[in-house]
Structure 1
């Protein structure tokens, strides 16, 4: 069983994500030959690291309208009915339901909600480290990746669905600060 002693510098506690030093992004195939990338500019999360790391948890909320692909016309299309339908479903959420070891990493199982549809999703989590942040307060870094099928969440992509891949890769690069 994994214990806190096996994670250098591990600190149990409640953490808030530092939005300035974190990134939530995605990638999808276009025409089957290229990858289109984007990010969400507005998100928040709370991570609770338990004494036993396998009892830890995370809850995250992403503002759907904050999608940014560096192309305003594409972003507006993603806001609409073919994709995220942001006027009706303003947030995407993830709530963990369990954590399992996976070699040097962990698998974080949870419920992902997009367009009001909740499905199980698993993030492959790497703990980048625990250290001291600004003002001497504890900080932690995490990287996580998940792949989801857009159709599972009602994201048809409309007519563009013929050229937009089914698999969406979600990537989370997170720096968090211990609540003091």
Structure 2
């Protein structure tokens, strides 16, 4: 299937900057096997390029590890330290797409996630929210949601922390609004 601008109503090609004020980069991890703890990154940036053929589009994003927020400062400090994100030695984590595939109404964004200096392939399942008018006159926005699941130990995160305390599986959830730049 070739997904071009004629296949997606209102599709707009161009370069888009992620709007951190109207976007969310979050994660969910199980604690003690019974509850879910949620967190997010408050300082991030990125760019989306929408091509005529959506499969030729791309995404890049960078999150600052020190900006992690789980709504508990003591836990946040622990997540920032060497046990988990090691923010002092690894101030950012990043994603770079390597390809996009069409899967029904979803899009699979293949890419490389770099966390604690370790780069591994990941696939995001994305839903295109659409294109619309922005808040300022003449501006255009793009909305997309995406999710994936990683194993924290694949990236050296929390290797000394038993999975009975913090699950190895971490769900990553993204709700992105981006503003057209060209």
> TM over 0.5, yes or no?
yes
Q: CA deviation at 1:136?
A: 2.2
Q: CA deviation at 1:30?
A: 0.8
The 8 Å contact of residues 157 and 164 in structure 1, kept in 2 or not, is answered as no
The 8 Å contact of residues 56 and 100 in structure 2, kept in 1 or not, is answered as yes
Tell me the TM-score normalised to structure 2 length.
Answer: 0.96
Tell me the TM-score normalised to structure 1 length.
Answer: 0.97
The 8 Å contact of residues 33 and 164 in structure 2, kept in 1 or not, is answered as no
SS in 2 for 1:5: coil
- Aligned partners of 2:57, 2:129: CA distance in 1, in Å? 16
The 8 Å contact of residues 79 and 85 in structure 1, kept in 2 or not, is answered as yes
Number of matched residues?
Answer: 180
SS in 1 for 2:6: helix
Which consecutive residues of structure 2, in runs of 5 or more, have no partner in the other structure? Answer: none
The 8 Å contact of residues 3 and 52 in structure 1, kept in 2 or not, is answered as yes
- 4+ residue segments displaced more than 6 Å: none
Q: CA deviation at 1:161?
A: 4.5
The 8 Å contact of residues 61 and 93 in structure 1, kept in 2 or not, is answered as yes
CA gap of 1:111–1:63, structure 2 versus 1, over 3 A, is same
- The answer for the alignment partner of 2:109 in structure 1 is 108
Q: CA deviation at 1:31?
A: 1.1
Per-residue CA deviation, residues 113-147 of structure 1 (Å, 9 max, x unaligned), is: 00000000000010001011122211110000010
What is the 5 A alignment of 1:3-18?
Answer: 3-18=4-19
Structure with more helix by fraction: 1
- The answer for the alignment partner of 1:132 in structure 2 is 133
- The answer for the alignment partner of 2:86 in structure 1 is 85
The 8 Å contact of residues 32 and 166 in structure 2, kept in 1 or not, is answered as yes
Q: CA deviation at 1:6?
A: 1.5
- The answer for the alignment partner of 1:172 in structure 2 is 174
